[in-house]
Amino acid sequence: MHMSTHEYKDLQAFHHDALIFDIHFHPRSALPAFFRHIGHFFLRKTMPPLEDLSALGPAGVDGCALAAIGDSQIGGPFTLKTITRSITRQLQRCIEEINTCDGRIVYAADDILAAKREGRLSFLLSLEGGNMLRGPEDVELLDHLGFRLLTLVHLNDNSIGRVGANTWNYWRRGCNSGTKSGLTALGEVCVRKMNALGMIIDVSHCHQATVMDVAGLSNRPIVASHAGARAVSEFHRYLLDDEIEAIARTGGLIGLWPMYYWGRGMAGAEDFKAHLTHMLDLVGEDHLAIGTDVQGIPGLMPGFGGVKDYITLTGLLFDAGLNEKQARKVLGLNFLRVLDEATATRP
């Protein structure tokens, strides 16, 4: 582990004292075991072993936004019924896994702080892909099920808006283009409904026109829970500077995403720090977070082998020049603020 600012014992003490909340994480249990094991077999050279949620605590992580899959390409095929049925099945599995590690499902910032004091893990339920949405009543259904964060699109276009690239051209260059690909009329209705219910809107995977539309419409902070800066590296899943600034103007966050696969993403510590410092210079530490996407991506940044190496990311914050106050914001306090501001509108 490379650390230039803190000795290991000081970093370790800080890491376990700070509130650390990963804003995009996947449970191993969400998808059926057969498909999960087949997928991991083919990606075994780039993905670390799958881990239970109980691994978070020993790694110094206090909780995460735990994402079920709501698109029709990954989430849908795992049930013979509808995507809504798939989501409820995934949710059931997530809750069972949370219970096995004595975790706590949280809905507000105070819940996360209380869980930290109690020494319990906290989990905010999230959904990646709003493909089930056909009207505001479906947003209400997700809210009723306990979801508090929704990634509008995932790997295919839906009734809300467009993705930057779909499953079949995900790793290709130059996919995110065009000007007539913003939020749909239904998307506008759903954004307003999410604002009213206090549900956080996640624009990860969105086409840049959709990102800009959501940022302009939302009256609450929005997030891009797992992303990077295209000014640092040309990858369609990263954000242009105007998108980063638009998200920050809402009071929102960009989650640093330590993904690397097929030559795309962060190739190591220096890349991670380059994305961090670029966005730090652009919008400041109040608009950054960590969204690892662990167990939801085909490969991780070299030097970051999953949950057990979370302290490495904390060390990189200091290596990049952040002080302890700034690091605490990025690791968790910024998300508490966003959650507080989002839930202020709850009926």
Q: Are 120 and 101 in contact (CB under 8 A)?
A: no
Higher pLDDT, 77 or 35: 35
Answer whether residue 80 shows pLDDT above 50: no
- Predicted confidence band of residue 77 (pLDDT cuts 50, 70, 90): low
Answer whether residue 233 shows pLDDT above 60: yes
Task: Specify whether domain 8-169+177-343 bears CATH 3.20.20.140.
Answer: yes
In tens, the pLDDT along 259-271 reads 999 899 999 999 9
Q: Residue ranges per domain, the chain?
A: 8-169+177-343
Q: Averaged over 280-287, what is the pLDDT?
A: 98
Query: SS3 of 288, please?
Result: strand
Please, what is the average pLDDT of the chain? 89
Query: What's the CA gap between 74 and 288, in Å, rounded?
Result: 28
Structure tokens at 151: 């990634």
Query: What's the CA gap between 222 and 29, in Å, rounded?
Result: 27
> Per-residue DSSP letters for 205-274?
TB-HHHHHHHHHH-SS-EEEEEE-BTTTS--TTSBPHHHHHHHHHTT-EEEE--BEETTEE--SHHHHHH
In tens, the pLDDT along 160-205 reads 998 887 766 665 655 554 445 789 999 999 999 999 999 999 999 9
Q: Are 244 and 334 in contact (CB under 8 A)?
A: no
First to last CA, the chain: 47
Query: What's the CA gap between 51 and 36, in Å, rounded?
Result: 12
Query: What's the CA gap between 276 and 11, in Å, rounded?
Result: 19
Q: Are 63 and 113 in contact (CB under 8 A)?
A: no
Do strands 122-128 and 260-261 pair parallel, antiparallel, or not at all (unpaired)? unpaired
pLDDT above 90 as % of the chain: 73
Q: What pLDDT is recorded for position 115?
A: 98
> Per-residue DSSP letters for 32-75?
-HHHHHHHHHHTTTTSPPP--GGGTTTTT--EEEEEEE-STTTT
